[in-house]
Structures are given as structure tokens and as C-alpha cells.
Structure 1
Amino acid sequence: MRISQLDSHRVALWGWGREGRAAYHAIRQRLPALPLTLFCNAEEAAETVALQDALLKAETRVDGTTLSAFDVVVKSPGISPYRHEALEAAAKGTRFIGGTALWFGEHGDAAGYAPGTFCVTGTKGKSTTTSLLAHLLRAGGFRTALAGNIGLPLLEVLEPQPAPDYWAIELSSYQTRDVAISGVHPDVAVVLNVFPEHLDWHGGEARYIEDKLALVTGARPRVAALNAADPHLARLVLPDSEVRWFNREDGWHLRGDDLYRAERFVLDTTTVPLPGRHNRSNLCAVLTAIEAVGIEAAPLAMSAQSFRPLPNRLQTVGERDGIVYVNDSISTTPHASLAALDCFRSHRVAILLGGHDRGLDWEDFAARMREQPPAVIVTMGANGARIHALLEPLVQVGGFQLAAANGLVEAMAQARRLLEGRGVILLSPGAPSFGQYKDYVARGRHFAEIAGFDPDTISSIPGLGIA
């Protein structure tokens, strides 16, 4: 759907975060006379007064009846379309879309594709992969936009001048179906992996996987770059897209730490500043995607050595009094916490676990703690007690120390005490930050601050925007 198609319809916005504000400004720029209703909280409603927009009405009551009064509701990504009030309104004919759908609607060519678009998704690694993709394209001399879920809403860069050669777009599972309903196909779609996550938003594991894979099953990209090592992806059949596999021996893959293109050795990835082998394997995804648009990828692989890692992703904040502090605040699943531990297997580690409880299964994590535990585990947050109860019977078997804390300050104090002045304190909570923090960035900043470091120095995402 193009923004112009909203004209003459009853249109509402739902959510007034950065994505919601970006949608408002994009719509108002194109349709200055279109009446709009904003569903938001009372504080946000008061903020809208400063806009001095007589055609914008703020509404704080949200239910199936108020939503169904509109033909189209442009909702923010964090608002689930599976909420009962959204389902009730949808049953009455209200159409729910997001800013991602509007952006793609504006960028389709005559054949229905968005030229030069790389869409990247996956349960873990998508931000680093998208950023690395932009980095390598820029190293090749291409003007490239880095945007999307990584921190710059697409509608904030609706019509940049001059236009970039390529778009490196990160998409969360909240946004992938938006591309599918936009009516415009991505040029290249990259899917890294699929693990259960955001089950509260999606309403279950099956729907999460379905929504995540909609980027390739529903959006029908020209090329789908898929991870052959992921069981969910390996069995996909995509008749409407060319499929290119990575992490397979006939394409880009790792042999140990060495990067290969089929039988050709290209690079020792231990020289690449990507923490963890799982992150370095995503270099294979990036190079596969670059080849998909006809660029020779091998010469660009060396430029990965100058990549600057992203904040909150296995980020070494610093060392103080014998303790190294590592910020992996973006970790929101048990699988992500396990991957983080793998990066520090040779170190004495205290891991901080827990946060918002989405009901994810921690059994696989617990099973690993029988044989490969860190020195210390400290649980915290809303699901901390549940994780603690699961791990407590394994303390004697695994030989690790287990402690509980009410919050991050206490958790770090416990970790310092139990490490006895030597080791790594790893914030890799395996759970979202909701309830205690605005987002994972705020949690990572608090971690740095408690450790005695300047949070401003660790927060910026390098390369965001167009360059």
C-alpha cells in the first residue's frame, strides 16, 4: 500500500514511539489534509498538542469498537495484531499495517520489486549481520543505507537525496509479515536462524515461525539467502524465489575458523572483530547476499577486519579490579545466552540471567549446565525465580555457584563476590528488559554505569543511516 492510497480512508495511528512518530510525519508530509486519530496513552496525547495539528485527534481508549471505526490502522511494531481488540476490529474489516509496509509500498518498481533492498532477519545475529552487510557494501564503494529495526525507522528515510545504491534493512519478527502484505517484493532476503522468541507477541511458537518466515514465504523475494545449518530453513521450498544457501560446502561456509567459498580458502576469521563463531559464520550470509546482486564478494571479505562491533552484543565494556565486563543485553532467548557462554568457554565467567518472563523453555539451557556450566550463575528479573528453580538441582552435578538477586545492581554485586576478583561478568540475560527497563539499550547502559564506565561511550551504533 502506498501512502497516497490512504487518502479518503478513515486512518488511525496506534503507538507513539519512534516508529509511530515516523509514520505520522511520513503520512502528514504526503497527505496534509487527511484527518488522523492517534491511539496512545495520556502522556503521549499531551505531547501531540505541540504539533499544532488540528486534523490529529489523540484517543486514549483502545478497544475493538474504537479500532473498528477505521478502515486502516497504522500500528507500531511492538503492538501485536493478535491482541483481542485488534482481532475484533480486523473481523469487522479494519486493516492493520505497519510503517515497513508503507515504506515498501513506496519503493516498488514496475515489476513489483524494491530494487537494491537487502532484508535481514533471524532470531539472533540480525543486527550484526545487517550492519556488517552495510559495512562491506560501503567498502566496495556503494552508497548504502543501514536502517530498519536496528535503530532507524524506514519511514524516517523515505526519500533520501541522493538515493542510496543499496538498502541494508534489519527486520524483526514484528515486521517481516509487513513486507509480505506490502505487495512489494524485496530484492534479497536473508534469514539467519529460527529459535522460539517473542511468543507473547505472536501467541505461540508456530505462529512466531510462520511470521518470521513470511519474509521469504509471503514476501517472495527475488533471491532468498538461507542458512543451510538451520533445520527450519533447510526444509523450506520457495518456488517463487531463487534460493542461495550459506553454511553449506558448495557456497560460503566456515571450516573451523577459516572462511571458504566452496573449495576456495578466503580468510582466517579469527582476525575479524566479531565475537563468537556464530557471529563470524554470519559473514557467510553477508557474502552470499552480496553475490546475489552480482557483486564479486571475495575481495570485500577482507574489509570485515575493519568492522566495528555493535553495542550490547557481546560488547566488552572494560576491565576493572581484575573483572572484565561484557554487555550482551540484546540477548533475549536462552539460546542467545548459550551462544554467549560459548564465546567465553576458556574464561572464568559469572553470567547474569533473567528479565521479563515470556514463558520460554529453559530446559535446553539447563541441560547444558550439567556439563559446560560457567563458574557462577546469578538469576534476576521476573523469570529469575523460575530459572533458579530449574538450575538449583544441577548445582552439585555441574559444579557451579548459583545465586539470586532482585535486580541488576544486586546481581552484579553477587557476581563480583563469587568471582573473587578474577573473571568475566557477562550480562546475557536470555530475556527481554520489559518491566525494569525501557529497552535492552537502557539495560546495557545501566550495566556499564554500575560497572563504573560511561554508558554514552558504549551506546552508539556505527554506520546507522546513509553513507
Structure 2
Amino acid sequence: MRISQLEGKRVALWGWGREGRAAWRVLQQRLPALPLTLFCPAAEAAAAREETAGSLDVRADVDGAALAAFEVVIKSPGISPYGEAALHAAAQGTQFIGGTSLWFAEHADAQGTVRDTVCVTGTKGKSTTTSLLAHLLRASGARTALVGNIGLPLLEVLAPDPAPDYWAVELSSYQTGEVARSGAHPQVAIVLNLFPEHLDWHGSEARYIQDKLRLVTDAQPRIAVLNAADPHLAALSLPGSQVVWFNQAEGWHMRGDVVHRGAQAVFDTAHTPLPGRHNRGNLCAVLAALEALGLDAVALAAAVQDFRPLPNRLQTIGTCDGITFVNDSISTTPHASLAALDCFAGQRIALLVGGHDRGLDWHDFVQHMAHDVPPVEIVTLGANGPRIHALLQPLADAGRFGLHAAADLAEAMQLARTALGGQGGVVLLSPGAPSYGVYRDYVARGRHFAEMAGFDPEAITAIPGIGIA
């Protein structure tokens, strides 16, 4: 659905975060006479009325009947379409779309393809991969937009002048279906990996995977760049797209620390700024995408040396009293915590895990702690901290590691410092869980971690390269 097609319809906004504000501004500009209603929490209602100078009918109460009064509801990504209110309204004919869907519909050509657009999704590593993609595109001399879930809603860059040569778009599982819903097809779509996540939003692991894959199954990109090492992706059949595999011997893949293209050794990643082996492996996805765009990926690979890592993602924020503090606040799955541990193998690690409990299974994490080299200390915290603690307790009793329970992050930091016993090491915040209920988001959690470690939280938050450059 294009923005012009909203004219004359009964339209509401649902959510007043950055995405909701972006949608309101675009509609004010394109369709100034269109009456709009906003559904948002009571805590945001007064601010919304003030910001919009009364141009919105702001309602703090939302249910299925209220939503069903509208033909189209433009909802923020964090609001699940599988909730009772949304399902009731959808059954009455209400159409739910998001800013991502509107942007793609506006940018599609006559064949439905959004040219020069590379979409990136995956459970882990999508932000770094999208940022790295933009960095290497810019190294080729191309004006490139780094946008989407990484922190710049697409509707905030609806019609830049001049337009960029390429769009590097990060998409969460909340947004991948929006691309398909727009009726548009990305030129290139990268899917990195799939692990269970966001089960509270999607309702089940099967639906999470299905929704995530809609970027390639339903949106049918011209070229799909897929991870051959992921079993869910390896089993895919995409007759509507050209499929390019990475992490496969015939294509871009890693051998040790060296990136290869087939049999050709291209680039040694051992001393690059990419944090973690998984991110170095995702460099292969980026190079495969660049090649699919017709660029010289072999020549561009060395530009990774100038890449600036993103905040809150295996971010070393500093060393104090012999302890190095690493902020991996964006880690929201047990698999992400395991990948973070692998980055510091052989070092004395005090790991901080736990946060919002959305029902993810931690047994695989526990098995790794039983059979791999575990951290010397583990501190659990958050709503799911007691559940994780109980699973780990038998291993701690057997002497595999020290185990501690904290009421909050401040206590967890104190316990971690004490547990390392003045012998140095790494305090690693890789919680494997969201921050909901305690912090506004993972950024706020990372900032508090930096503050508790004795560093300036303002210095760690900027995302390098976001926007158009």
C-alpha cells in the first residue's frame, strides 16, 4: 500500500515511539487533511498531544473493537499482530501495516523491485553485518544509507535528495513480514542465521522462523544470500530468487581466520576490528552480497580494517584495576551469550546473564557450560535469573564455576568484581535476555553497565555511520 492510497480511509496510528512519530510526520506532509487517531499508553498520551499540537485524536485505551473502527492501522514494530486486540480487528477487516511496508511500497519500480536495496536479517549479528555492508559500499565510493532497525526508521528517510546509490537496511523479525506485505521485492536479501527469539511477540518458535523467513519466502528478493551452515536456511527452496550461499566451500567462507572465495584466500581477519568469529563469518555474507551487486568484493575486503564496531555489541569499554569490561547488552538469546564467551576463550571471565523472561530454553547453554571451558564465575540477574541459576546450580556444586545471584545490575557488577578476586579478567555483560521491565531498552542497560564500571556512558552509545553518507 502506497501512502496516497490511505487518502479517504479511516486511519489510526498504534504506538508513539520513533516509528510512530515518523509515520505521523510523513502523513502530515503527504496527506495533511487526513484525520488521524493515535492509540498509545496513557503515560505517552499527554506528550503526544503536545507534540502534535492537538492534530491527533489521542486515545490511551485500545481494544479490538476500537481498532476495528479503522480500515488501516499503522502500528509500531514492537506491537505484535498476534495479540487478542489485533486479531479481533483483523477478523473484522482492519488492515495492519507498518512504516517498513509503506517505505518499500513507495520505492518499488514498475516491476515491484526496490533497486539498489540490500536487506539484512538474522537472529544474531544483523546490526554489525548491515553496518559493515554500508561501510564497504562507501569504501567503493557509493553514497550509502544505513537505516532500519539499526536506529533510523525508514520513514525518516522516505525521499532524501539526492537519493543514495545503495540502501543497507537492517530488519528485525517484527519487520521482515512488512516487506512482503508491501508487495515489493528487495534487490538483495541476506539471512544470517536463525535461533529462537522474541517468542512473546511471535507466539511460538515455528512462527518466529516463519515470520523471519518471509523476507525471502514471501518478499522474493531478486537475490537471496543465505548461510549454508544454518539448517533452517539450508533446507529452503526459493524458486522465485537467485540463491547465493555463504559459509560454503564453493563460495565465500572462512578457513580459520582467513576469508576465502572458493579456493582463493582473500583476507586474514585475525587483526580486524570485527568482534567475534561469528561477525568475521558474517563478513562472508557481506562480500557475497557485494559481488551479487556487481562490485569487486575481493578488492573491497581489506576496507574492513577501517570498520568501527557498534556499541553494545561485544564492546570493550575499558579496563580498570586489571579488569576489562565488555558490553554485549544487545545479547538477547542464550546463543548470543555463548558466542560472546567464545570471543574471550582462555581468559578469566565473570559472565553476567539474565533479564526479561520470555520463555527461551537455556538447557543448551547449560550443556555448553558442562562440556566446554566455562567462565570462572557466572552471575545471574533479572526476571529469569532464578531459573537460569537453578539450571546451573548442579554444575556449580560440582566445581565447574562460581555461581552468584544478584538482585540487579549494580549488585551483579559488585559480585563479579569480588569473584574475580583481584587477579584480573573480564567482566562480560552478555545477558542472553531482553532488558524489558528494568530498562527502556538494551542501550539504557549498556549505559548503566558502563556507568557502574566507572566509564562515561555518553561515550559508548553513538552508532558509527548511521544515516546517509
TM-score by length of 2: 0.99
Contact 2:435 2:442 in 1 (8 A): yes
Q: 1:399 matched to which residue of 2?
A: 400
Partner of 1:369: 369
The CA deviation string for residues 295-320 of structure 1, in whole angstroms up to 9 with x for no partner, is 11110000001100000000000000
- Report the CA distance shift for 1:38/1:274 in structure 2 as closer, same or farther (over 3 A): same
Q: Distance in 2 between matches of 1:306 and 1:397?
A: 45
For 1:184 and 1:285, the matched residues in 2 are separated by 22
Aligned partner of 1:178 in structure 2 is 178
Paired residue for 2:333? Answer: 333
Q: Distance in 1 between matches of 2:100 and 2:351?
A: 36
Matches within 5 A, 1:9-20: 9-20=9-20
> Unpaired segments of 5 or more residues in structure 2?
none
| 1:220-251 deviations in Å (ceiling 9; x for gaps) | 00000000000000010000000000010111
Note the C-alpha offset of 1:322. Answer: 0.9
Matched AA of 1:388 = H
**Preserved CA contact (<8 Å) 1:3 1:106:** yes
Deviation, structure 1 residue 275: 1.3
Preserved CA contact (<8 Å) 1:376 1:400: yes
Say if 2:455 is the partner of 1:453. yes
* Aligned partner of residue 370 in structure 1, secondary structure: helix
Between the aligned partners of 2:421 and 2:104, the Cα distance in structure 1 is: 53
Aligned equivalents of 2:398, 2:120: Cα separation in 1: 40
SS of 2:186's partner is: strand
Q: Which stretch of structure 1 is more off in the superposition, 63-72 or 390-399?
A: 390-399
TM superposition shift of 1:261: 0.6
Moved more, 366-375 or 321-330: 366-375
1:417 maps to what in 2?
A: 418
Alignment of 1:41-56 (within 5 A): 41-53=41-53, 55-56=55-56
Q: What amino acid maps onto 1:335 in structure 2?
A: H
* In 2: Cα distance, 1:210 partner to 1:43 partner: 34
* Residue identity in the other structure for 1:71: E
Residue 417 of structure 1: how far off its partner (Å): 0.4
Q: Secondary structure at the match of 1:274?
A: coil
Shift in alpha-carbon separation, 1:54–1:381, aligned structure 2, 3 A: closer
Is 1:278 matched up with 2:278? yes
Provide the residue aligned with 1:137 in structure 2.
Answer: 137
CA distance in 2, matches of 1:102, 1:240: 23
Q: 2: distance between equivalents of 1:203 and 1:28?
A: 34
Which AA in structure 1 matches 2:24?
A: Y
Shift of 1:50: 2.7
CA distance in 2, matches of 1:10, 1:62: 16
Q: SS of the residue aligned with 1:270? A: coil
Determine helix, strand or coil for the equivalent of 2:426. Answer: strand
SS in 2 for 1:47: helix
Displacement of 1:41 in angstroms is: 1.9
Instruction: Specify the SS of the correspondent of 1:448.
Output: helix
1:431 to 422, 430, 433: 433
Shift of 1:53: 4.8
The secondary structure found in structure 1 opposite 2:326 is: strand
Please name the residue that 1:382 is paired with. 383
Contact 1:11 1:71 in 2 (8 A): yes
Aligned residue in 1 for 2:299: 299
CA distance in 2, matches of 1:52, 1:446: 32
Residue 398 of structure 1 deviates from its aligned partner by 5.5
Letter in 2 for 1:430: G
- Residue 49 of structure 1: how far off its partner (Å): 2.8
Aligned equivalent of 1:68: 68
CA displacement at 1:54 relative to structure 2: 5.1
In the alignment, does 2:449 pair up with 1:440?
A: no
Query: 1:445-467 CA distances to partner (integer Å, 9 max, x unpaired)?
Result: 00000000000111000000000
Q: Is the 8 A contact 1:370 1:397 kept in 2?
A: no
Aligned residues of 2:356 and 2:382 also touching (Cα < 8 A): yes
8 Å Cα contact 1:287-1:297 kept in structure 2? yes
Distance in 2, matches of 1:193 and 1:347, equals 27
1:112 and 2:112 aligned: yes
Look up the equivalent residue of 2:377 and give its one-letter code: V
Contact 1:373/1:398 (CA < 8 Å) preserved in 2? no
1:115-137 deviation per Cα after TM superposition (whole angstroms, max 9, x unaligned): 11100000000000000000000
- How many Å separate the matches in 1 of 2:61 and 2:199? 26
Match in the other structure for 2:126: 126
Query: Which residue identity does 1:448 align to in structure 2?
Result: A
Whether the aligned pair in 2 keeps the contact of 1:350 and 1:426 (CA below 8 Å) is yes
Give how far 1:56 is off: 1.6
Task: Give the letter aligned to residue 146 of structure 2.
Answer: L
Deviation at 1:52, TM superposition (A): 5.0
Whether the aligned pair in 2 keeps the contact of 1:369 and 1:398 (CA below 8 Å) is: no
Q: Distance in 2 between matches of 1:45 and 1:179?
A: 29
User: How many correspondences in the alignment?
Assistant: 467
Distance 1:112 1:144 in 2: 21
Cα deviation digits, residues 16-44 of structure 1 (max 9, x gap): 00011001111111000000000012232
Question: Is the CA contact 2:49–2:56 (under 8 Å) kept in the aligned structure 1?
Answer: no
Please name the residue that 1:77 is paired with.
77
Q: Offset of 1:252 from its aligned partner?
A: 0.5
Q: Following the alignment from structure 1 to structure 2, what is the Cα–Cα distance between the partners of residues 104 and 399?
A: 51
1:147 equivalent in alignment to 2:133? no
Secondary structure of the residue that 2:21 maps to in structure 1? helix
Question: Aligned equivalents of 1:277 and 1:397: distance in 2?
Answer: 30
The equivalent of 1:269 in structure 2 is: 269
Query: Residues of 1 paired with 2:271 and 2:399: CA distance?
Result: 33
- CA offset digits 1:403-449 (Å, max 9, x no partner): 00000000010000010121100000000000000000000000000
Instruction: Map residues 78-97 of structure 1 onto 2, 5 A cutoff.
Output: 78-97=78-97
How far is the alpha carbon of 1:55 from its aligned partner?
A: 4.3
Q: Is the CA contact (8 Å cut-off) linking 1:217 and 1:238 kept in structure 2?
A: yes
Report the CA distance shift for 1:126/1:52 in structure 2 as closer, same or farther (over 3 A).
Answer: closer
C-alpha separation between the residues in 1 aligned to 2:250 and 2:264? 10
Counterpart of 2:72 in structure 1: which amino acid? V
Distance in 1, matches of 2:325 and 2:104, equals: 40
- In 2, are the aligned partners of 1:34 and 1:55 still within 8 Å (CA)? no
Partners of 1:452 and 1:438 in 2: how far apart?
21
